[in-house]
Structures are given as structure tokens and as C-alpha cells.
Chains A and B, each alone.
Chain A
Amino acid sequence: MSDLPRQIRLAAGDYFMHGQDCRMRQAGLPGNVCCAVIKLDRGFDVERLRRRIAESPIMDWLARVRIFRPLPMLFPPLWRATGKPKTIFFEHDDSNEVAAGPGCLPKMVADRELHASHGPGLVFDVMRHADGTSHLFISWNHTHLDARGLDFLLNHLNADETAQTATKAPNFINPKQLGSGLAGWWPNVKQARGSVKWLHESGDEPLFSLLPPGPRPAACRNNYRVLNLTAEETARIDARCQKFNCGFRRSHFYLAASLRALHNVAVQRGNTDGAYLIPVPHDTRKRGANGPIFSNHLSILFYRIEPKFAGRITDILGELSRQMTDQIRDKFPESCMAALDMFKPLPLGFYVNHLGKPTRGKFATFSFSDSGETCAGMKDFSGGKILEVTHLVPAWRPPGLMVVFLRFGNRLSVQISWVDDCVTPAEADSLERDVRKALLEEEPA
């Protein structure tokens, strides 16, 4: 595809994700690298997928693109497609094991080093099992793509040849990132002021934090739990959403359930004075279109929930609804985007250091994301029926805990990831149990 550019501008979300990647590596974590795990039934055609990846100009571009900082003090960072693509497709046979359990990545996948600045930012691993099923592991640096973008990419690879070659650059790259007008780089500082002021005010202590006091350990580790709900349980959760008037606000209900579970951990720790500060990313793509694939298209809403509201789903939902309406009314998401854009020209080291500043490193009590429908509209991939889909998204440190909700078909799953020095195994058990309970069980009157 000759219409893909050699270099484009970073979206504000890209630099933010890159900054988080650097912060994670400073803490000894493997970086802001996610993994989508897709279990496929017999019939999965590995050769067809290999051919699609090899022939796709989009994949070729993705394998070559990396962050480039020409003169960091003078120019903002750029995406630049350069050099020869590195290998991004690997195949493994696993004759001793039927299937990897949820949250357990094979060592060669878990150990993948994916850097935004020297690529490749995306790798496919296929593991064939003795029972005929396969696991497809797609590891990607979050700087390159968000979860929705990966979904569109999978749809692109799964489409028939005619549809695949018809994919044009505008479906792949946000047109706003094309061009090089410097005027477009510098957002309205006045617009950014609202969100920066809000963050400084809302970052006032006391805030609840999972981070232990004292110096950070030399090396931290990410841990994962995946809570898979059945179709029947998911239907019950949908019914509860309707009951709470959350038919179109399921993510509010999921967030309320997660927060109530975390509040129980705070109670167990005897720390119930701190408020909860929760940034919630929002996909800015328009609905119904297949793209853009590349980059992070996010705006952010921030909620500050006082502990007196955190014990009951109804109270949390009331606060979320009120704060969300106020923020959208005050154009907070646009202000947040302007703020992120404004910081893009900063040197990387300064930017990374500044990311946690407004709330002295506690910019979030925990990270939350609702990925929505995953593999939307796909029942099979490359000839194999899709049996399960899981996203493993690492927790940043701070805050040390990440909760991600996603749906595949009529089943909901919840991924809880945490950094080992921030959450104990007993607390992880409690979180898993309480999220499930909050989603499914009625609260006492």
C-alpha cells in the first residue's frame, strides 16, 4: 500500500502510553506490553494467517514503525516507518500440554521484549496443542495500538482477499495524525488548563493508594487473574445493569463493582479515609466504522469517589453519573486531550517524570478499562472457531492494580492484574471474590 506515510505524528495517547512504558521499565516490569490470547478450535489454518500477515501492507508498516525523536528539545516525537521489518510471526508445537490456563502465558510469550522505540511493536505467536486446538498470542506494545485497534486489525487479517486489499490508509491512520503543520501541534493552552487544575485539586490528600511506603523493590512482577463468567451469569449481570438503569452504562456498573471490591481491601487494611481517584479511558472513534487501527484514540474522564460512597453500588453509580455529566458538560475530556497534546513536545525523561506529578505519583488508585465487545462480529479466525478470548493488560506502577472488562459473544470476563509488592495474594483472592459478588449478588438493603 503505497499511500501509507513514512512518518506521522504521535497521538497524545501514544506518548502517554510510551511514558507509562518507560515508567514500568524503571520499576523493573516488562513494559506496557499487552497480550491478547485467543483459543481456536480445530480448523485454524496457520499457513493462511502467516500468508495474510506476510502480504498485508498494514502489517509490513506496523512491523517497521517506531518512535523517533529527532531533536528531543526542539521537535515533538514522531512515528517513523524505517528499516527492514523484523520477524513478527512465530510458531510453536506444544505436545505435552493441552492448553495454557487463563492468565498463564507460555514463557516465550511472557518474555517477549517489545519496545516502541526500536520495534517491532507487535508479535504473533501460535501454539498448537496435541488435542488439535491452538492458542494465538498477540503481544503488542500499547504505544502502537489500543484494544479496539487490535480488534480492527484482526478483522482486517480475517477478511477475504478482496476486502483486505481494499483497506485504505484512512481506515488505518487517523487523518489528524497525517501532515506536519506545527500549528496543529500546539493545542490551546487555555483548554488544557481546566483538566490540569482539576487534577491538582482532586489530587488532594487523603487518597487511597495500594503502593507500599518506602523504596520500590529492585524488580517487580505483574500477576494476572482472569474471571470468566458463563453466558447465564452474564445475562444476570445484564439484568442487574438494567435494574440499576445502566443499560447503556454497563461500564459504570463494572467500575462500581470493581471499586466496591477494592474498598473491601481498604477496609481490611484499616485505611478508610482515603478517596479513590480513577481515570477511565474512553475510545474517541466514531461508532460503526472499521478504524482507525493504529495509535491510541483515547480521552480520559477522572472520577474522585469519597470512601463514604464506596461501600454501596447504588451510591457509587450516583456519584459516577453526576461526575461524568459534570465533566462532559465542562468539556473535561477535550481539556484532558489538550493537556496530553501540550506535553508531547516535552523531552521523554521530563515527560515520564511529570506524568505522576499532579497527584504526587498517585494519579490513579487503580486503572480501569472496559474493552467492550472483543473480536466483535467474529465467530472464527483463519478457519478456526474462536473458543475463548482474553486480554492480559499489565498493571502500571503506580497504581499497582488494573481491572479490565471485556465481552466475547454473550460471555463477560474480568482480568485483574497487579504488581506483587502492591497487592498480597490474599488481597487478590478477596478482589476476585468480591468483584464477582458485586456483579452478581444483590446488596443487603
Chain B
Amino acid sequence: MTPEKDPKIIAAKLCEFAHTNFVAEGVEFDENSPLSQAGIDSFALVELVLFCERGLGVRVPDSHLTGDNLASMTSLANCIAKLALDGQPST
């Protein structure tokens, strides 16, 4: 799988995944919403990380799950895009 490298496409895919899997219908949530206010917990975070592996072809190491990278989907997307450009393998 070719890793996705465009931060905007990555952010849109992450938001779509969040809406499908753990954010309730009708809740305002977009690329710039603070993840801390979206009720994202450890379980949702792992689901998100696994989606990055499977759906975007990028493995996000634990060391990259920092407060800054998890501020919003945009910041997470930037982190993923950088990992993809650096050639981070998905497995």
C-alpha cells in the first residue's frame, strides 16, 4: 500500500473515520476540533492509530502520540504526512 502523504486528504479521512466509528451523529467535529473535547479516549486513539496503519499505510509509533500531535485531526494528519514522507513503514 502506498502511504498517503497529503495532510489535507489524511485529515479528511481521519475525520470520516471518527464520524463513522466513535463520534456520535449530529456532533460538530471537523479537522480543527480539539480532540480532547471530542471525548476521544484510549480505545478510540488505538482505533485511530490502527486506521492509520490499515487505511493510510503509515504506522504511528507510540513516541509520536504526543499532546501536540494529538491536538486536532489537522495536527495528527501533519504528523502522519511527515512520517509517510520519511518513509515510515506500515508494518
Contact = CB atoms under 8 A, between A and B. Distances in A.
Interface residue range, chain A: 20 to 34
Interface string B21-58: 01111110100000110111111111101100000000
B26 A289 contact: yes
Contacts of B65: 245, 248
A266 interface: no
- Count chain A CB atoms within 10 A of each CB in B35, B42, B46 and give the residue with the most: B42
Nearest to B41: A248
B42 A324 contact: yes
B50 A247 contact: no
Contacts of A268: none
Contacts of A287: 22-24, 27, 38-40, 44
B86 interface: no
A329 B50 contact: yes
Contacts of B2: none
A249 B66 CA distance: 11
Nearest to A291: B24
A251 B39 CA distance: 13
Contacts of B39: 287-288
A324 B22 CA distance: 17
B66 A245 contact: yes
Contacts of A251: 41-42
A223 to B, nearest CB: 30
Nearest to A325: B46
A333 B43 CA distance: 10
A329 B53 CA distance: 10
Contacts of B35: 248
B38 A288 contact: yes
B41 A328 contact: no
A286 B39 CA distance: 9
Interface in A216-254: 242, 245, 247-252
A282 B43 contact: yes
A286 B24 contact: yes
B67 A242 contact: yes
Given A247-B70, A286-B23, A288-B23, A328 B63 contact: no
Given A245-B66, A248-B70, A325-B50, A289 B27 contact: yes
A242 B36 CA distance: 13
A180 interface: no
A166 to B, nearest CB: 14
Nearest to B21: A286
A249 B50 CA distance: 16
B62 A245 contact: yes
22 contacts: A242-B67, A245-B62, A247-B66, A247-B70, A248-B35, A248-B42, A248-B45, A251-B41, A252-B42, A286-B22, A286-B23, A286-B24, A287-B24, A288-B27, A289-B25, A289-B26, A301-B43, A324-B42, A324-B43, A328-B43, A328-B46, A328-B47
In the complex, the 3 A-B pairs of residues with the closest C-beta atoms, listed nearest first:
A289-B24, A287-B39, A288-B27
Given A248-B41, A324-B43, 5 more contacts: A245-B63, A248-B45, A249-B45, A288-B24, A289-B24
